[in-house]
Chain A
Amino acid sequence: MLKILKYSFYDLMRSRWSYIYFLFYLALGFVLLFLFNDVSQAVITIMNIILVLTPLIGTIFGVMYYYDSREFTELLLSQPIKRRNIFLGQYIGVATSLALSLFLGLGIPFVTYGLFQSSEIWNFSLLLVTGVFLTFIFVALSYNLALSYDNKIKGFGFAILLWLFFAVIYDGLFLILLLSFSDYPIDKLALIGSSLNPIDLSRVLILLKLDISALFGYTGAVFKQFFGSSTGMISSFALLLAWVILPTWRILRKSKRKDF
């Protein structure tokens, strides 16, 4: 598995996309810090970007990589290697290279701007950790889709739709749900609804750590109680982890039964 992971990783490195992705974040980090001159302001803006962009890039990269390396995968399948190792290796290879680009791309500018002296270091690390989580989640989800559809167009279409669903449509539906039940006590509903979507969960998690947390007002009491406590922190990370593990598990199951 490690060998395949290495191949996938180097393959992506050679294709230069990881560099471009890395350079994009590097430029973004430097520009934002240059514009704001204030780490905490930059953290909020970067949060907005990470929450939209990492899932999108993860989804597209995952699908693209699967379809691109299909022939190589078939070649590997003809060898005496476990299917589990092939697909897990590929998945982790892609996700790790993307996560690394994100981590280094944003990490370097912030470190050079004196992050270690700033009190924002925890918020920033939380931001990076959730970014890495989101990358792993969305690469896994897109791999699932790609495995399910041999038709590239269909696969791509559904992958984009998947991203659109989690980034936009889910919130829309959630908002409608909240508005239509606004006569009832819905803070629990709001809590559950926001923790089921990994993007929403990451957003709430970061916002609660930032200064704007008190904005959540009296509804926020429930949120703070839940996310602010260590059990809340642990359970929300457990949820994010579940979002990684379940799709990965399905990749393995699907790939085992798939007829290539």
Chain B
Amino acid sequence: MKYVLILLYILLPLFASAKTIEVCPTCPVSQIKVGIDLAEEGDLIIIKAGTYKEHDIKITKNNIRIKGEGRPVIDGEMVGTVFHFSGSNFTLSGLKIIHVGHSYTQDFAAVLVINAKHFEIDDMILEKVYFGFLVEKSKHGVIKNCIVSSKNKDEAGAGNGVHIWKSSDMLVTNNDLHGMRDGIYLEFVKRSKMTHNHSHGNIRYGLHFMFSNNDEYSNNTFENNGAGVAVMFSKYIKMSENTFLLNWGDSSYGLLLKEIYDAEIHDNEFIQNTIGINIEGSTRINYSNNNFRNNGWAVKVKGACYKNKFYKNNFLQNSFDISYKGQINSNEFKSNYWSEYTGYDLDKNNVGDIPYRPVKLFSYIVNETPETIVLLRSLFVDIINFSEKVTPVFTPDNLVDASPAMKPIPKRKPQ
């Protein structure tokens, strides 16, 4: 009997806490804030369809589940942050949040998460927000199936779609982010994954890493951003099967690498970017099985790079395949396919018999004097490129692909 009582005593709160609170404009509980105040740990709050003009909704309890039914709209009335989570184990789904406050001094967000563990945010639509999801000092969170958009014009007055700071083990998947400053911004974020996101039309970067190690992003599409992805001051990053598309513009990149160590970049598509990959001060990076198609510059190496390996990539119809500054520094090009390779293969082993020099004289000249780009595709430039190809004088003579592939390297099957 005593044990049963003890058992009841333990289990009772669990049963008691599994209550559901309904919030709707005509219900007894017509405000989300009131619903949150009523809720105990473990409760489910269902928000019915309707428009709720609320902001600064603070959730400090653990184990709260908030669910929207019929896509309720929460209008922040351009005042401040809308949801403010600081408890753990929460879930949030099915809402539409609009009109988040705008400020130059404070980072207002549609959903602000601080010091939380094991949370899940699913199926949200955020429109006209300043910051979308702002996550700080949290662990094991999931943000998925969300659409975050805004109509920002200038960089200084815009926020990021998903902004994660000083967190670890996050998963950001299947989101659509556009019109923000950065689609996804990560600073001091460890062991996290970004997959299947579509980041497009953002003012600055589609995805932005700062001081974040051991992260991975794959199967994302970065389209038409100021620049596709910027990875800076980070180690052990894996980038695979992403598509970098149409990141056009003056000094725009598909992928910007700055002070990166030990990264893997494989099976990505770089299509029609002004610069496919811009590499600066990066060491021990393996580029393999990527496709560079119709870019201005496929790869631009700007010096202070050591031990970068380019194996089995396809360079197809780029205006310039490689632009290179500085010493060769044990960077290596091997077994790539170059669409401009004109060599032959006498022993039919699919490896070209004469080495390919990816740096053209004109790309060297453009590096020195950018204005000379006006002569792009003129007959004179073709002639000097040809003469340089026959007898290299200016271009680094050890920058060669000694075993160029004769046929494009086939796409690998997804692992």
Q: How far is the CB of A161 from chain B (nearest CB, A)?
A: 15
A52 to B382, CA, bound (A): 12
Per the bound structure, the CA–CA distance linking A174 and B368 in Å amounts to 15
CA distance A216 to B248 in the complex (A): 11
> Given contacts A172-B380, A179-B369, A182-B369, are A217 and B251 in contact (CB under 8 A)?
yes
B10 vs chain A, min Cβ distance (A): 66
Give complex CA distance A199, B378 in Å: 9
- B366 — nearest CB in chain A belongs to which residue? A217
User: Does B8 belong to the interface (CB within 8 Å)?
Assistant: no
The answer to whether B250 touches A175 (Cβ under 8 A) is no
Flag the segment in A89-97, A186-194, A251-259 that touches B: A186-194
For residue B68, give the distance in angstroms from its CB to the closest CB of chain A.
41
B62 on the A face (CB < 8 A) = no
Is the CB–CB distance between B374 and A179 below 8 Å?
A: no
The answer on a CB contact under 8 Å between A182 and B319 is: no
Question: With a CB–CB cut-off of 8 A, which chain B residues contact A223?
Answer: 374
CB–CB A200/B379 < 8 A = no
Report the Cα distance A110→B365, complex, angstroms.
36
Q: Which residues of A contact B370 (CB under 8 A)?
A: 217-219
A154-187: which have CB < 8 Å to B? 167-169, 171-172, 174-175, 178-179, 182, 186-187
User: B16 at interface (Cβ–Cβ under 8 A)?
Assistant: no
Q: How far is the CB of A221 from chain B (nearest CB, A)?
A: 6
Interface residues on B, range: 20 to 34
Taken together as a complex, chains A and B put the C-alpha atoms of A168 and B380 apart, in Å, by 5
Judge if A207 is at the interface, Cβ distance under 8 Å.
Answer: yes
Contacts of B251 in A (CB 8 A): 217-218
CB distance from A129 to the nearest CB of B (A): 18
A32 beta carbon closer than 8 Å to chain B = no
Q: How far is the CA of A55 from the CA of B170 in the complex (A)?
A: 62
Q: How far is the CB of B251 from chain A (nearest CB, A)?
A: 6
CA distance A29 to B122 in the complex (A): 53
Docked CA distance A252–B33 (Å): 88
Q: Which of B248, B274, B375 is in CB contact (< 8 Å) with A175?
A: B375
Taking A214-B252, A215-B297, A219-B371 as known contacts, 20 extra A-B pairs with beta carbons closer than 8 A to each other, sorted by chain A number, are: A41-B317, A44-B377, A51-B379, A171-B379, A172-B380, A175-B372, A178-B371, A178-B372, A179-B368, A179-B369, A182-B369, A203-B377, A207-B376, A212-B296, A215-B274, A215-B296, A216-B373, A216-B376, A217-B370, A220-B250
Residues of B within 8 A of A (CB): 248-252, 272, 274, 294, 296-297, 317, 319, 365, 368-381, 383
28 contacts between A and B (CB under 8 A): A47-B377, A52-B379, A167-B380, A168-B380, A169-B380, A172-B380, A175-B365, A175-B375, A175-B381, A179-B368, A179-B372, A182-B371, A190-B371, A190-B374, A199-B378, A203-B377, A211-B248, A211-B294, A212-B319, A212-B376, A214-B248, A215-B373, A216-B373, A217-B251, A218-B250, A219-B373, A220-B373, A223-B374
